[in-house]
Amino acid sequence: MGSSLGDEGNAWGNSTWQKPTIRKTLIVATCYLQLSFGVRYRVMDYRVFHNKAELDSTAYMEIGPGKYSGAHWQDGFLFIAEDAFGMAEGVLVKHFPSYDHFAMNDLPKDAGRRVTSEWRDVAGRLSSSSGEQAQAALNLSASYRTRLESDVVPHKSEIASMLRELADACDKLYEQQEWVCILGM
């Protein structure tokens, strides 16, 4: 007899029960609060993951060496939570205007080096920036500007760390290749 989720066993298609993590527990608690009390609370994860085994969903942007090969979730790729990467996208768009959050993007080295340089610069200025200065430095899209006070201001340190790590990791990828692919949602 199959479950209501189908023969796969659960919504992720995995027939084995997985031990809940703190993050999964927080997500469930967040959904409960939103549904039951109308409270909106979200935990943003600004870490850059270097190992796909550490990921707990597929809501990650992927960055890898070379042009897009048609494959996802490759060893040697970087993985950043989609919402967190939104804090880095404004600088990316500034130097690579054809960037598309929902597409597969091939970023040439010349534009990529400008992006990594500015990510480092912004990271260095972020901690002493006001909300408006942070918004301008990050070149935030309209959707992120509306969440400025709740997402950016209290997390400037984490955002700065993410930007530095992205810059360092992307520069290492450019040592191997002339292109870096950024795989959108």
Q: Which of 76, 21, 79 is nearest to 48 (CA)?
A: 79
157 in the same domain as 88: yes
Which structure tokens are listed for 185? 């949602």
The pLDDT value given to residue 14: 39
105-150 pLDDT per residue, tens: 999 999 999 999 999 999 999 999 988 899 899 998 777 777 766 7
169 in the same domain as 118: yes
34 in the same domain as 62: no
Distance CA 88, CA 178 (A): 21
Q: Are 137 and 122 within 8 A, CB to CB?
A: yes
70 in the same domain as 128: yes
Distance CA 177, CA 105 (A): 15
What lies within 8 Å, CB to CB, of 161 at 6+ separation is 46, 123
The pLDDT value given to residue 7: 38
Which structure tokens are listed for 1? 């007899």
Domain that holds residue 131: 46-183
The pLDDT value given to residue 19: 44
Q: How many domains does the chain have?
A: 2
The pLDDT value given to residue 123: 98
Distance CA 41, CA 55 (A): 21
Distance CA 46, CA 154 (A): 12
144 in the same domain as 61: yes
The pLDDT value given to residue 142: 78
The pLDDT value given to residue 59: 94
The pLDDT value given to residue 150: 73
15 in the same domain as 55: no
pTM: predicted TM-score of the whole model, two decimal places = 0.76
166 in the same domain as 83: yes
Which residues of the chain, if any, have pLDDT below 50?
Answer: 1-41
Residue corresponding to tokens 């942070």: 134
